[in-house]
C-alpha cells in the first residue's frame, strides 16, 4: 500500500470495509445510538441522553 491507494479486501461496509466508497483514506467510525430519555435521578424527573444498548441493559429506569 503506497500513497492514497486503498486495497480492497472485499469486506462489507458494516464490518469495517470500504464498501462502495473506495477512495476514502480512513475507515468509517461507528457511533453510539444516543436517545433522549425521561428518567428519575436524585428523586427528580430529568431528561438525559443515553445509548440504546445501556437502555436495553436496564442501567437506568425510564419514567
pLDDT tens digits, 7-54: 666 677 677 666 666 666 677 788 999 999 999 999 999 999 999 999
Taking the C-alpha atoms of residue 51 and residue 29, their distance in angstroms, rounded to an integer, is 16
Taking the C-alpha atoms of residue 20 and residue 16, their distance in angstroms, rounded to an integer, is 12
2 or 12: which leads in pLDDT: 12
Per-residue model confidence (pLDDT) at position 35: 97
pTM reported for the whole predicted model: 0.54
Per-residue model confidence (pLDDT) at position 28: 72
Per-residue model confidence (pLDDT) at position 29: 81
Cβ atoms 32, 19 nearer than 8 A? no
C-alpha cell at 3: 500513497
Per-residue model confidence (pLDDT) at position 20: 64
For 14, the 3-state DSSP assignment is helix
Amino acid at each position: 500500500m503506497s500513497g492514497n491507494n486503498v486495497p480492497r479486501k472485499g469486506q462489507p461496509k458494516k464490518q469495517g470495509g470500504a464498501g462502495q466508497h473506495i477512495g476514502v483514506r480512513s475507515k468509517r467510525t461507528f457511533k453510539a445510538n444516543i436517545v433522549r430519555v425521561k428518567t428519575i435521578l436524585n428523586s427528580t424527573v430529568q431528561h438525559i441522553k443515553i445509548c440504546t444498548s445501556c437502555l436495553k441493559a436496564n442501567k437506568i429506569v425510564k419514567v
